[in-house]
Chains A and B, each alone.
Chain A
Amino acid sequence: MSVAHRIAEQFETREQQREADSLGTWVFLATELMFFGPLFLAYFYGRTHYGEGFAVASGRTHVWLGTANTALLLTSSLTMALAVRASWIGRRGVTLLLALTAALGVAFLAVKGIEYRKEWDEALVPPFRFVFAGEHARAVEVFYWLYFLITGLHALHLTIGIGLVLWLALRARRGDFGPHYHAPVEMTGLYWHFVDVLWIFLYPLIYLLERWR
């Protein structure tokens, strides 16, 4: 029995430990959600104050890259969910599914990098390189500032997620997980889905504003 299979000394049973870990993860995600809260509120402030300006700014985003990324991330959530289920019922393929999840996450980051690069070339990166003439200049600046802040934080969370998933993949290959012990996979899965769901909300707010009008 490896260390991971033991029950921590403060718990009576393995079930109690599993439930505590799971609840702890949910509470942590509630904190995470509130952490992003002010950025969403700032976004709604901007959108109500500069309706027109935010639409103009949204029109400058690279909607196809954003859409591709949405597809990538949704697919990664599928592979993650399959990995959780596979570890749950003790099927093989956990390692492969986790590696696939991490790869999709990396692909997302690569696309995001391309997008950032384009925005840098278009001088839409406040405050470092920002040029925008016309009456909506201020609104566009606020929009892109929030855009970089939110997507940057999202990318940071995703990077942490990729690290966790890769670590799980290594452990899965060692045969750590099975029907009796799979809490880390489950908890990382919850986190991964949270990062995914966050993006589901960001996608329309950032990319579809103008198209929707």
Chain B
Amino acid sequence: MTDLLTIAVLSGGISHEREISLRTGRRVADALTERGHTVVLLDPDADLFARLDAIAPDVVWPALHGSSGEDGALLALLSAHGLPYVGPASSSARLAWSKPTAKTLIERAGVSTAPSLTVTREAFRELGAANVLRLILRELGEHVVVKPAQGGSAQGVTIIHDPELLPRAMVDAFTYHDVAIVEAFIGGTEISATVVNLGDGPIVLPLVEIVPLEGTYSFEARYTAGETNFFVPARVSESASAGAREVALAAHAVLGLSDLSRIDIIVDDRGAAHFLEANTLPGLTETSSAPLAIEAAGFSLPEVYHTLAVRAARQLR
């Protein structure tokens, strides 16, 4: 196989994160094109597999954030169609896509995560919303983070420091998905750890510290250049940094992630690292943290994406 490939980058889709996916897809395509590959950008629809057949790519790069790309279903279909792709096994993606499942697996592996409760819309209806809310507050305290059980880009996520706001936060999460996860809020340093396997096993790239100007890493803060400052490497102690790296590698391994992942971590005020979320398809937009980590490691984006694509095409994962 030649070193230069035909690569189909899939982006767009019909998830809530379509726009972000389009941005990631474009950036990945640009980098791979710069490296010399032939890149075709595809927005998946009913003709996707026919178009893939016509293109006959050496490898597919699914850059589909949100349910259509990250829940593992499309990855399974690509495998069934005999197409190698950049990304984890579909079973791993499925595990990581569900925040409660991922947390459970991580916890069982002995990694610290914020205490949490997974609650369904059905549970609120059957057991009485007031009762469930009371239990949540009693169990987790008044400072909590409410998230839809699936999805990214902080969509449907609310940080609560006033219990009065909890009902609305639940409604906002359930507007995205019928299952929500409520975590105890842990204050500290927000860190993004990018894990990549370029052939010698997974390595953690320099930790990226995230400092949103408005205090919360919201959708707006994530995708408006300048509204978040980043520090690379993160300004935490050596032991905290080591702890965060351990958490990242453990999460990557426990969830069976392969090529590239981003593990979100909080380092609390005592320097302890706690797992927050795993992302099998980290954002690779112009405002995302994973590209910053890659560049801070001294790598170039085209070279890293090239390596991932070639390894996937050769199925060296």
Asked whether A and B interact, the reply is: no
Listed in ascending order, the chain B residues whose CB lies under 8 Å from chain A are: none
Listed in ascending order, the chain A residues whose CB lies under 8 Å from chain B are: none
